[in-house]
Amino acid sequence: MKASPRRHLVTENRDLLEVEHPAEGEFRALEGKLDATGRRFAIVVARFNAFITERLLQSACDGLLRSGAQRNDIEIVRVPGAFEIPSAARTLALTGKYDAIICIGCLLRGDTAHYDVIVNEVTRGIGQSAQETGVPHAFGVLTCETLEQAIDRAGLKMGNKGFEAALAAVEMASLKQAISSQPSAVSEKAGVGRRTVDLGKKQIPRFARNDKQKSRNDKRKSRIDKLNSGNDKLESRNDKPKKKASKTSRRK
């Protein structure tokens, strides 16, 4: 069997194609490390659908311990359902005691629109809490169509989303520390501006500064003298009618 001309052309084109990889040394990238040593984490877990959320919780704790976290540095907070997760996560983040918050829950679609409303509010609340508090939040809330999908994502075919959320929290906590340790570009520009201003002041000779100050003082003195002369003229005008009155009284 002879190969078709189309296949022959495809193989030739594939040989001509070259994949260009970016040079690693040209760009500098900040990345978080999967190292949880010395960091504190809070896990907010919903009791609703506990047969799923408990599996997610166990895997999240396992992920933190494997990353180097201590058991005393892991705080578990239980809430009634997924809707209450953002409020609890925000309260924990505002305390400033935790490097990252892990949110765990499970939502299954039902016959009504209740599922869509809760999913939107939970997602929005967790994201808003992370943005406003500055504390990383890991999203470990399952939003599944069926129970089978939730089971698959709690330790079966699709892995365990609790474990993945824990690793994401560890990496984001490390990344936040790496970013905060970098010097600010605004401060660098301000420092350069101050240096240029200082250099400009040093270049001006002292006698020139003294001359400017003397000229300013002379201007102020001239203004004060003008004001005093104006006051003297007003006083002299006020004294003239008094003299006239005294003359008329003498004539009488």
Residues 202-250: tens digit of each pLDDT: 555 555 556 666 677 777 777 777 777 766 666 666 666 555 555 555 5
Beta bridge partners of 79: 46
Q: What is the pLDDT of residue 197?
A: 46
Output the CATH code of domain 41-180. Answer: 3.40.50.960
Does the active-site annotation cover 114? yes
Q: Return the pLDDT at 240.
A: 60
- How many helices and strands, by DSSP H and E, does the chain display? 8, 6
- Catalytic residue, candidates 8, 21, 114, 137: 114
Q: Parse the chain into domains and list their residue ranges.
A: 41-180, 189-244
User: In this structure, what are the phi and psi dihedrals at residue 41, rounded to the nearest 5 degrees?
Assistant: -130, 145
pTM above 0.85, yes or no: no
DSSP string computed for 14-57: HHH--PPPPPTTT-------S--TT--EEEEEESTTHHHHHHHH
| CB 108, CB 146: distance < 8 Å | yes
Question: Is the CA virtual torsion 140, 146, 149, 155 positive or negative?
Answer: positive
64 Cβ contact list (under 8 Å, min separation 6): 36, 41, 74, 166, 169, 170
Say how far apart CA 228 and CA 216 lie, in whole Å: 19
Which residues are paired to 143 by β-bridges?
107
Residue 37 one-letter amino acid: T
The list of the chain residues with pLDDT below 50 reads: 6-12, 14, 196-197, 199-200, 252
Hunting for tokens 């470990």 — which residue is that? 140
What Cα–Cα distance (Å) separates residue 221 from each residue in 8, 158, 215, 218, 234? Answer: 98, 87, 10, 5, 20
Residue 71: CB partners within 8 Å, gap ≥ 6?
A: 65
Quote the pLDDT of residue 195: 52
- 100 phi and psi, to 5 degrees? -160, 155
Residue 186 pLDDT: 55
